[in-house]
Amino acid sequence: MFDLKDKVIVVTGAAGTLCSAIVEDFAKNGARVALLGRTRSKVVALSEKLNNEGCCTLGICADVTSELDLKEALAIIKENWGDPDILINGAGGKDHRALTEGVEFTPEELSGDANGFFGIHSEAFDAELAMNIQGTVLPSKIFGAGIARKGKGSIINFASMNSYRPLSRAPAYAIAKAGILNFTQWLAAYLAPAGVRVNAVAPGFFINERSRKLLMTDDGGFSERGQQVVSHTPMKRFGEAAEMVGAVRYLIDDQQAAFVTGICLPVDGGFLSCSGL
* HEC secondary structure over the chain: CCCCCCCEEEEECCCCHHHHHHHHHHHHCCCEEEEEECCHHHHHHHHHHHHHCCCEEEEEECCCCCHHHHHHHHHHHHHHCCCCCEEEECCCCCCHHHCCCCCCCCHHHHHCCCCCHHHCCHHHHHHHHHHHHHHHHHHHHHHHHHHHHHCCEEEEEECCHHHCCCCCCCHHHHHHHHHHHHHHHHHHHHHHHHCEEEEEEEECCECCHHHHHHHECCCCCECHHHHHHHHCCCCCCCECHHHHHHHHHHHHCCCCCCCCCCCEEEECCCHHHCCCC
- In the set 164, 173, 190, 250, the catalytic residue is 173
Let me know if 250 is a catalytic residue. no
The residues carrying an active-site annotation are 173
